[in-house]
Amino acid sequence: MSGCRLCGGVVEEFLDLGPQPLPDAFLSPDDPAGIAAEFFHRLAVGRCGTCTVVQLTDEIPREQVFHHDYPYRSASGSSAMREHFTRTALGFVETELSTADPFFVEIGCNDGTLLRTGAESGIRHRGFEPSGGVAKIARERGVRVRTEFFEESTAAAVREAEGPADMIYSSDTISQIPYTASLLRGVDALLSPGGVFVFEDPYLRDMVEKTSFDQICNERFYLFSVRSVQAMAERFGFELVDAVQLPTYGGGLRYTLARAGARRPAPSVARLLAQEVAQGLAESAGLQRFASSVTGIRDDLVGLLRSLREDGRTVVGYGATAKSATVTNFCGIGPDLVPYVCDTTPAKQHLLTPGMHIPVKPPAAFSDPYPDYALLFAWNHAEEIMAKEQRFREAGGRWIVYVPEVRVI
């Protein structure tokens, strides 16, 4: 194990989720060689004893994760998320981007779901998206994309060619970037003196409170808190000036960084920080308790699935999420317990889930005759999914959830 990616301190491991595949590395059933070559990494998470940042103990080379065939698409899942991105972009247009000829940059723009709203509003913009397949889709939607990783050198190149950015935004991506120094030096190079760097990611506090251990996967290096982002910002000459809790990402937080002293911090920063301290978030004792709750959830979930199988009940998975890879591989849930999983993402369908090799079917497979139970892997979209799938309930179907505890509803 190496030292803390942020400060070099000692990382104390508190949870080991065992050997895990890359959660977006779906496999073709027609490619036995690909299946045989599937690789696994030990997925363990720890906290830095010095700066308290929660992080994986091992880092995966980024090209193994984000490449041409990376399948995740912002637009193909949740309509609530699409609305969130449109609202977010329009909000920026009215606030940070209301100056004359503003320049907006997005890190990890994926298929352009957010940036297209900016593009349609006539905002000068630039997306960074290293995964070629989704970057191409964004380009087809009129979004200006560089198919490369955002880091110090690429950010400096954009600054040189296109000038300073008034705002740099990122959703569900900054927690996936272990090379923090290069990232923040890149932000420093590209951001205008009065500009802001705004990013949203799952919040450690939600993960601990909900025991949502499936937020931990080989793609996500950090689990941020207000305290850790503040420490990160200060190291590179920035200041955390706003922190807003979000219902998205299974419980997230939107962080706003500005250059140190440039803006007065909103009261929410001190308030959330005080709550984290009072709660002992990111202290060893609380994280150890979280780890033992995780084991309890595994035992309850596997026990339930086995007893349903013994009773001859059918269970299918709903949403081949990255999170589901963590759960199925940690719990040992394969096609014997869950014969298939439905998902709306075209690039995941007709493939096998990473590690446990559960077949992925299009959503049309989830129809009459319904299974007896659906295991809700996409629990962060529960409200939308349950509203959409009312016929399943009417036909006598029941949902199995495991966040914050194993329940049948």
- For ligand TMP, the binding residues (CB under 6 A) are 77-78, 319-322, 342-345, 348, 378, 380-381, 384-385
Report the nearest approach of ligand SAM to the CB of residue 12 (Å): 26
The DSSP bridge pattern shows strands 315-318 and 222-223 to be: unpaired
- Tell me how far apart the alpha carbons of residues 217 and 21 are, in angstroms, rounded to a whole number: 9
Pick the closer one to ligand SAM by CB: 172 or 276: 172
Terminal C-alpha separation, the chain: 41
Tell me which H or E stretch contains 119.
helix 115-120
CB 372 within 8 Å of CB 313: yes
Pick the closer one to ligand SAM by CB: 55 or 110: 110
Torsion of CA 157, 161, 167, 169, to 10 degrees: -50
Name which position in 25, 43, 45, 51 contacts Zn ion (CB under 5 A): 51
Pick the closer one to ligand SAM by CB: 137 or 196: 137
Sheet (strand 360-361) strand order: 360-361, 341-342, 315-318, 373-376, 398-401, 407-408
Out of ligand SAM, Zn ion, ligand TMP, none, what residue 166 binds, judged by CB under 5 to 8 A for its kind, is none
Report the nearest approach of ligand TMP to the CB of residue 80 (Å): 7
Name which position in 43, 44, 45, 48 contacts Zn ion (CB under 5 A): 48
Q: Which amino acid is at 390?
A: Q
Name which position in 128, 199, 224, 340 contacts ligand SAM (CB under 6 A): 128
- Tell me how far apart the alpha carbons of residues 133 and 145 are, in angstroms, rounded to a whole number: 12
Report the nearest approach of ligand TMP to the CB of residue 110 (Å): 11
Strands (E), 108-189: 124-128, 145-146, 165-171
Report the nearest approach of Zn ion to the CB of residue 56 (Å): 13
Taking CB under 6 A as the criterion, which residues in 73-102 touch ligand SAM? Answer: 74
- Tell me how far apart the alpha carbons of residues 88 and 208 are, in angstroms, rounded to a whole number: 26
* 107 is an interface residue for ligand SAM by CB under 6 A: yes
Pick the closer one to ligand SAM by CB: 251 or 359: 251
The DSSP bridge pattern shows strands 222-223 and 54-56 to be: antiparallel
Choose the binding region for ligand SAM from 28-36, 159-167, 171-179, 257-265 (rule: CB under 6 A): 171-179
Pick the closer one to ligand TMP by CB: 123 or 217: 217
- Tell me how far apart the alpha carbons of residues 339 and 358 are, in angstroms, rounded to a whole number: 6
Pick the closer one to ligand SAM by CB: 110 or 329: 110
Taking CB under 6 A as the criterion, which residues in 177-206 touch ligand SAM? Answer: 177
* 181 is an interface residue for Zn ion by CB under 5 A: no
Name which position in 117, 176, 321, 328 contacts ligand SAM (CB under 6 A): 176
Directed axis angle between helix 284-310 and helix 322-331, to 10°?
80
* 380 is an interface residue for ligand SAM by CB under 6 A: no
Report the nearest approach of ligand TMP to the CB of residue 76 (Å): 6
Report the nearest approach of ligand SAM to the CB of residue 74 (Å): 3
Out of ligand TMP, Zn ion, ligand SAM, none, what residue 344 binds, judged by CB under 5 to 8 A for its kind, is ligand TMP
CB 80 within 8 Å of CB 388: no
User: For 249-334, where are the alpha helices, taking DSSP H only?
Assistant: 267-279, 284-310, 322-331
Residues 6+ positions from 137 with CB-CB distance below 8 Å: 73, 111, 112
Positions in the binding site for Zn ion (CB under 5 A): 4, 6-7, 9, 48, 50-51
Positions in the binding site for ligand SAM (CB under 6 A): 66, 70, 72, 74, 107-108, 110, 128-131, 134, 149-150, 171-173, 176-177
